């Protein structure tokens, strides 16, 4: 671990941990630890990853059934925004493994259900709010750039988006806006979610700590965010099947990065 205890912040909100200085080596080590956690207890990873994959397939089936194939892209890209909540069980597995505590299905699931009574539930509103902003801004851009186009099939939608000036404008502006929203959400939640799963703090304090961690360590934290985004997008391509592996590894890795970024509870 390359954390520097001399890099702790001062004047944190009450109950918030101090923030350490991180490096790219910490990101690599966290990803490695996440892989080790998954290999040690693959059943939990496959279980939570399977829930997430099933949700993605249901969304895919829904937009196909209602005749809105163009919504597949924004929903598929935005759907991973909800992934950290599925990862709560993975955080618990990593925590128990690190502390040498027994890892049992009953104990892990009990911790997941226990979160309903804690501050983590409030974070759901924050994430869902940003998710709906993402969906509605896509609909707005769609109306602005492609409002007079008709799509009878997925192939027709792809053809128009990739072969017309309006389609390219839709992709470029949508990508810029989406990247901004993804950065905001990542900065708000990357440390906050595992922190709320472990500590008795309010969700506002957790969000402030998360944003402060990214501001203090922009290169390693945003580098980790890039890895998360790229790996998740690749995992979506084979009909969401890749999430069975990618989600648990990244969930475990997020926990380890949180532990490296903050002082002990």
In a domain, 65, yes or no: yes
For residue 4, the model assigns a pLDDT of: 41
Print the domain residue range for 113. 21-127+184-261
For residue 224, the model assigns a pLDDT of: 96
**Overall domain count for the chain:** 1
In a domain, 255, yes or no: yes
Question: Would you say how long the chain is, in residues?
Answer: 265
- The phi and psi torsions of 127 (rounded to 5 degrees) equal -65, -45
In a domain, 3, yes or no: no
For residue 25, the model assigns a pLDDT of: 97
| pLDDT, tens digit (0-9, with 9 covering 90-100), for 227-258 | 988 888 888 777 778 888 998 999 999 999 99
For residue 198, the model assigns a pLDDT of: 86
Residue pair 71/265 in contact by the 8 Å Cβ criterion:
no
In a domain, 47, yes or no: yes
In a domain, 212, yes or no: yes
In a domain, 16, yes or no: no
Cα distances from 137 to residues 36, 68, 88, 133, in angstroms, run 39, 16, 28, 6
For residue 166, the model assigns a pLDDT of: 83
For residue 81, the model assigns a pLDDT of: 54
For residue 150, the model assigns a pLDDT of: 59
For residue 2, the model assigns a pLDDT of: 44
Residue with tokens 């618990």: 92
Q: What is the mean pLDDT of each run of 10 residues along the chain (265 residues)?
A: 42 72 96 96 90 76 64 58 70 92 88 72 77 79 75 70 84 85 89 88 91 96 92 79 88 95 83
In a domain, 251, yes or no: yes
For residue 229, the model assigns a pLDDT of: 85
For residue 63, the model assigns a pLDDT of: 66
In a domain, 12, yes or no: no
């Amino acid at each position: 671990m390359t954390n520097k205890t001399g890099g702790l912040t001062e004047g944190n909100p009450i109950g918030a941990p101090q923030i350490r200085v991180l490096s790219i080596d910490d990101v690599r080590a966290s990803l490695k630890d996440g892989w080790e956690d998954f290999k040690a207890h693959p059943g939990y990873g496959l279980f939570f990853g399977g829930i997430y994959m099933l949700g993605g397939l249901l969304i895919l089936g829904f937009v196909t059934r209602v005749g809105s194939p163009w919504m597949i892209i924004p929903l598929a890209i935005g759907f991973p925004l909800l992934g950290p909540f599925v990862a709560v069980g993975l955080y618990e597995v990593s925590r128990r493994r690190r502390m040498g505590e027994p890892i049992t299905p009953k104990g892990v699931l009990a911790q997941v259900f226990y979160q309903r009574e804690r501050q983590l539930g409030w974070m759901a509103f924050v994430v869902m709010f940003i998710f709906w902003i993402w969906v509605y801004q896509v609909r707005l851009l769609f109306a602005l750039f492609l409002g007079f186009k008709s799509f009878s099939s997925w192939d027709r939608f792809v053809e128009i988006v990739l072969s017309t000036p309006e389609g390219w404008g839709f992709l470029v502006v949508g990508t810029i806006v989406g990247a901004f929203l993804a950065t905001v959400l990542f900065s708000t939640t990357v440390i906050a979610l595992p922190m709320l799963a472990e500590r008795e703090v309010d969700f506002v304090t957790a969000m402030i700590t998360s944003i402060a961690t990214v501001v203090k360590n922009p290169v390693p934290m945003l580098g980790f965010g890039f890895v998360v985004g790229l790996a998740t997008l690749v995992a979506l391509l084979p009909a969401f099947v890749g999430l069975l592996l990618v989600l648990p590894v990244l969930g475990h890795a997020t926990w380890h990065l949180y532990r490296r970024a903050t002082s002990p509870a």
